[in-house]
C-alpha cells in the first residue's frame, strides 16, 4: 500500500484550483494538470487534506470541485491543524513571503509557490536565508523548465552540434514585469545553466512611483530587458508576439514555439547559402502530464530522500532566488536611466506592489 503525504493548497483562485478551465485548448496538453489542487490530486503519493482561501466562496467552490472536506479561511490555522508535509501556496504575491516563513517555522519542508517570490528587497533577504539553507525544498510557478520540450531544446543548444550558445531570447509580447516576466527571467536562467549573471539592463513603461522613488505601485510593462552572463551570453526579453524561447547558437537558432507546441531549428544545411527555418527533423521525446505535476513530483522525491531530486531542487532554489534578484535589478536599472547594473544592485528599500487596477500580481 502506498503511503501518502499530507498536503494542502492555500489560495483557491485561478492558479490554485481552476487554471485548466481558462487555458485548456490554448497550450499543449502536457501542460496539464496545471492548478495546484489538480497536481496534488494526480500524484499517487499525495493526499489533498485541506484547502484555504480568504474568500469563503472561493474555498467552498474548490472544495466542492475536488471533494475536499476540510476548508479554512485562515492559512496559519490550516498549517497548525493539518500539519501538511507538502504545501502549495497560490496566493497573490503580497503576504506570500511571510506565509512561506511561517510555514517553515511550523515544520513544512516542501513548498510549491506561485511567482513572483515576494514584493520587497527586505522580504527577499529573509527568503534567501530560508531557501539557501537546504532545510526546505521549494519549487516555483515558472514551470516551463520542468517540461520535456524545453529541456530537449536546451540539450540541443548544449550539445555543441550547433556551436556555442550566444544569446537567449524570450518572446512573450508586450507584458508586465511581475505578471509575466518572472517566467521570462526563469527561462533565461534555465537556458544559461551554470553561467553567472554579471549585469542587468532594463527600460520600463508605466512605472508608477509611490511614497518614494523605490516604491513602485504599478506592475510596469517591460519595453526591453537584458541579462548578461560572465561568458558573454546575453538573455534578451523582447516585445515580440508569441510565447517562444529562442536559443541562438553560433550556427543555428533553436526555437521552442507557442508554449512548447513545436521546435524549429534555423540552420544552414546541405551547403545552402542562406539558412532556412523548418520544424525539427529529429524525434521529439514524448511528453505526458507535466505542468505543475512535475515540480510537485520533484518535491515528493525530495521528501522521500531521492538524491537526484534533492540535487535538482538545489539548482531550482538557486534560480528562484536569482530570478527574484534580477526582477528587482531590472527596476533599479530603469530608475538609473536604463544603465547596466549588477544583479544585486537593488536599493534595500525597494518595494514593487505590482498593482494593475484593483488586481495584484
Residue 185 and residue 111 in one domain: no
In this prediction, residue 271 carries a pLDDT of: 63
136 within a domain of the structure (yes/no)? yes
Distance between CA atoms of residues 104 and 111, nearest Å: 9
Residue 253 and residue 189 in one domain: yes
Confidence of residue 287 (pLDDT cuts 50, 70, 90): confident
Average pLDDT score over the chain? 95
151 within a domain of the structure (yes/no)? no
Neighbours of 211 (CB within 10 A): 8
**pLDDT value at 1 more than 70:** no
In this prediction, residue 232 carries a pLDDT of: 98
Distance between CA atoms of residues 75 and 4, nearest Å: 22
* Lowest model confidence (mean pLDDT) among 71-80, 270-279, 300-309, 328-337: 270-279
- Percent of the chain surpassing pLDDT 90: 87
Q: What is the DSSP string of 47-59?
A: EEEEEE-S-HHHH
Residue 296 and residue 344 in one domain: no
Residue 27 and residue 56 in one domain: yes
Strand partners of residue 110: 86, 137
154 within a domain of the structure (yes/no)? no
Distance between CA atoms of residues 113 and 121, nearest Å: 18
Residue 10 and residue 110 in one domain: yes
Q: Are strands 244-249 and 165-171 parallel, antiparallel or unpaired?
A: antiparallel
For the segment 303-326, the average pLDDT, to the nearest whole number, is 98
153 within a domain of the structure (yes/no)? no
Residue 306 and residue 325 in one domain: no
- CB within 8 A of 110, min separation 6: which ones? 85, 86, 87, 136, 137, 138, 299, 300, 302, 303
List the domain range (segments joined by +) for residue 249. 161-286+321-360
Tens of pLDDT, residue by residue over 208-259, are 999 999 999 999 999 999 999 999 999 999 999 989 999 999 989 999 999 9
* Lowest model confidence (mean pLDDT) among 133-137, 320-324, 326-330: 133-137
**pLDDT value at 274 more than 80:** no
Pick 208 or 359 by higher pLDDT: 208
Q: Are strands 137-140 and 5-10 parallel, antiparallel or unpaired?
A: unpaired
In this prediction, residue 102 carries a pLDDT of: 97
Confidence of residue 284 (pLDDT cuts 50, 70, 90): confident
**Nearest CA-CA partner of 125 in 159, 97, 150:** 97
Which uninterrupted H or E stretch holds 354? strand 351-356
Tens of pLDDT, residue by residue over 29-43, are 999 999 999 999 999
Pick 277 or 300 by higher pLDDT: 300
In this prediction, residue 273 carries a pLDDT of: 65
**CATH (domain of 55):** 3.40.50.720
Instruction: Identify whether the C-beta of residue 244 lies closer than 8 Å to the C-beta of residue 170.
Output: yes
> Cβ-count burial of 142 within 10 angstroms (0-12 exposed, 13-18 middle, 19+ buried)?
buried
Based on the structure, what is the number of domains in the chain?
2
- Percent of the chain surpassing pLDDT 70: 98
For the segment 155-177, the average pLDDT, to the nearest whole number, is 96
Residue 300 and residue 328 in one domain: no
Residue 127 and residue 247 in one domain: no
148 within a domain of the structure (yes/no)? no
174 grid coordinates: 508586450
For the segment 92-101, the average pLDDT, to the nearest whole number, is 97
Residue 122 and residue 241 in one domain: no
155 within a domain of the structure (yes/no)? no
Tens of pLDDT, residue by residue over 294-310, are 999 999 999 999 999 99
346 within a domain of the structure (yes/no)? yes
The length of the chain is: 361
Which pTM does this prediction carry?
0.96
* 88, 63, 27, 357: CA torsion to nearest 10: -80
Residue 117 and residue 169 in one domain: no
CA atoms within 13 Å, Cβ hemisphere of 11? 21
Number of H helices, E strands in the chain: 10, 17
For the segment 342-358, the average pLDDT, to the nearest whole number, is 96
**pLDDT value at 48 more than 70:** yes
**CATH (domain of 223):** 3.30.360.10
Residue 210 and residue 124 in one domain: no
**pLDDT value at 275 more than 80:** no
**Nearest CA-CA partner of 200 in 170, 235, 238, 173:** 235
Instruction: Please give the angle made by the CA atoms of 192, 89 and 316, to the nearest 5 degrees.
Output: 20
Please report, for residues 47, 68, 78, 304, the alpha-carbon distance to residue 3 in angstroms, rounded to integers and kept in the order given.
9, 19, 22, 11
Sign of the torsion formed by the C-alpha atoms of 258, 238, 114 and 73: negative
262 within a domain of the structure (yes/no)? yes
Helix spans in 113-229 (H): 121-132, 148-158, 181-192
231: three-class secondary structure by DSSP? coil
Residue 100 and residue 83 in one domain: yes
In this prediction, residue 278 carries a pLDDT of: 73
* Lowest model confidence (mean pLDDT) among 131-135, 267-271, 294-298: 267-271
Neighbours of 105 (CB within 10 A): 10
* Lowest model confidence (mean pLDDT) among 21-25, 239-243, 296-300, 311-315: 21-25
Residue appearing with cell numbers 529529429: 282
Amino acid at each position: 500500500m502506498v503511503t501518502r503525504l499530507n498536503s494542502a493548497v492555500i489560495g483557491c483562485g485561478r492558479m490554485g484550483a481552476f487554471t485548466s478551465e481558462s487555458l485548456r485548448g490554448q497550450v499543449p496538453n502536457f501542460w496539464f494538470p496545471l492548478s495546484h489542487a489538480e497536481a496534488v490530486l494526480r500524484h499517487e503519493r499525495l493526499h489533498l487534506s485541506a484547502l484555504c482561501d480568504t474568500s469563503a466562496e472561493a474555498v467552498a467552490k474548490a472544495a466542492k470541485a475536488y471533494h475536499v472536506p476540510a476548508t479554512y479561511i485562515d492559512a496559519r490555522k490550516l498549517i497548525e491543524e493539518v500539519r501538511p508535509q507538502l504545501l502549495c501556496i497560490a496566493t497573490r504575491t503580497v503576504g506570500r513571503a511571510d506565509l512561506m516563513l511561517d510555514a517553515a517555522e511550523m515544520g513544512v519542508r516542501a513548498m510549491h509557490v506561485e511567482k513572483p517570490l515576494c514584493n520587497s528587497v527586505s522580504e527577499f533577504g529573509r527568503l534567501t536565508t530560508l531557501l539557501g539553507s537546504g532545510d526546505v525544498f521549494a519549487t516555483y510557478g515558472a514551470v516551463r523548465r520542468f517540461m520535456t520540450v524545453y529541456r530537449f531544446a536546451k540539450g540541443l543548444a548544449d550539445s555543441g552540434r550547433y556551436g556555442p550558445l550566444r544569446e537567449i531570447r524570450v518572446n512573450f509580447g508586450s507584458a508586465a514585469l511581475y505578471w509575466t516576466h518572472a517566467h521570462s527571467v526563469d527561462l533565461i536562467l534555465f537556458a544559461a545553466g551554470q553561467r553567472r549573471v554579471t549585469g542587468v539592463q532594463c527600460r520600463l513603461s508605466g512605472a508608477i512611483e509611490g511614497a518614494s522613488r523605490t516604491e513602485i505601485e504599478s506592475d510596469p510593462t517591460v519595453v526591453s530587458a537584458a541579462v548578461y552572463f560572465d561568458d558573454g551570453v546575453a538573455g534578451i526579453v523582447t516585445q515580440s508576439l508569441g510565447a517562444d524561447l529562442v536559443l541562438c547558437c553560433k550556427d543555428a537558432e533553436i526555437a521552442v514555439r507557442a508554449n512548447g507546441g513545436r521546435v524549429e531549428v534555423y540552420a544552414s544545411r546541405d551547403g545552402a547559402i542562406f539558412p532556412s527555418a523548418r520544424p525539427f527533423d529529429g524525434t521529439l521525446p514524448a511528453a505526458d502530464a507535466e505542468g505543475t505535476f512535475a515540480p510537485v513530483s520533484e518535491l515528493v522525491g525530495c521528501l522521500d530522500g531521492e538524491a537526484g531530486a534533492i540535487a535538482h531542487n538545489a539548482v531550482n532554489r538557486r534560480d528562484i532566488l536569482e530570478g527574484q534578484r534580477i526582477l528587482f535589478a531590472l527596476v533599479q536599472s530603469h530608475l538609473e536611466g536604463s544603465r547596466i547594473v549588477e544583479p544585486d544592485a537593488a536599493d534595500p528599500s525597494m518595494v514593487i506592489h505590482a498593482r494593475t487596477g484593483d488586481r495584484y500580481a
